[in-house]
């Protein structure tokens, strides 16, 4: 199954390498969604990786360039005038504006409080925690999600249960659902 609905990935999600790895694998052909972000979101992600998570700048730059190479259509532009029209948390207005410009119905973010329903409903947009979003992708095509989890496990020389335990730190509902379906106790 190929899904073609665009989704904004917030910087707080993109700064989490484990979740980003899975999300971007699920956005590869055959994809379950179309990832979207803005230059401002990528810049915020990069600052977080360098300043808060102490990643080396060259690794952050390489990661960002690879995201641009593999998802050239992901970068949303021309959203800046819309920022004046939105009412969510001021520091995240650029995220909602980019979602509106890209015609996204979902913003995937850990910062749900920055996107109150009253600020989103007029635009037909929902903010979802990554756990909920990944669970919905799993219900859409569980076989593909498990296949991508297996790819991650092979690449990291780990097992799927180990990957699910790592993911459970940040996306517990998703990890528990997949683990339960696969007979893995987390």
For the chain, what are the domain ranges? 6-129, 134-181
Beta bridge partners, 38, equal 76
Mean pLDDT of the chain: 96
Q: Can you give the pLDDT at residue 154?
A: 98
Contact (Cβ atoms closer than 8 angstroms) between residue 134 and residue 7: no
CB 140 within 8 Å of CB 3: yes
**Which pLDDT score is estimated for 2?**
62
pLDDT digits (tens, 9 = 90+) for 113-124: 999 999 999 999
pLDDT of 142 > 70? The answer is yes
- The answer, yes or no, to whether residue 3 has pLDDT greater than 90, is no
42-53 average pLDDT score: 97
CA angle (19, 23, 26) in 5-degree steps: 145
Tokens 């998703």 found at? 174
Query: Looking at residue 182, what DSSP letter applies?
Result: T
Rounded CA-CA distance 81/83 in Å is 5
pLDDT per residue as tens digits for the range 145-162 = 999 999 999 999 999 999
**Residue 1 pLDDT greater than 60, yes or no:** no
What kind of fold does domain 6-129 have according to CATH?
Answer: Rossmann fold (3.40.50)
């Amino acid at each position: 199954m190929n899904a073609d609905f665009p989704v904004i990935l917030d910087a707080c999600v993109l700064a989490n390498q484990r979740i980003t790895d899975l999300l971007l694998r699920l956005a590869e052909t055959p994809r379950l969604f179309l990832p979207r972000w803005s230059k401002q979101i990528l810049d915020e992600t990069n600052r977080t990786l360098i300043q808060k998570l102490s990643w080396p700048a060259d690794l952050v730059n390489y990661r960002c360039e690879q995201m641009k190479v593999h998802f050239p259509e992901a970068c949303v532009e021309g959203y800046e005038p819309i920022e004046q029209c939105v009412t969510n948390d001021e520091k995240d207005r650029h995220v909602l504006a980019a979602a509106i410009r890209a015609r996204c119905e979902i913003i995937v973010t850990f910062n749900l409080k920055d996107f109150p329903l009253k600020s989103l409903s007029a635009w037909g947009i929902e903010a979802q925690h990554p756990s909920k979003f990944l669970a919905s992708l799993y219900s859409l095509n569980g076989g593909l999600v498990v296949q991508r989890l297996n790819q991650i496990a092979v690449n990291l020389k780990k097992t799927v249960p180990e990957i699910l335990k790592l993911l459970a730190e940040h996306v517990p509902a998703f990890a528990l659902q997949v683990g339960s379906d696969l007979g893995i106790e987390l």
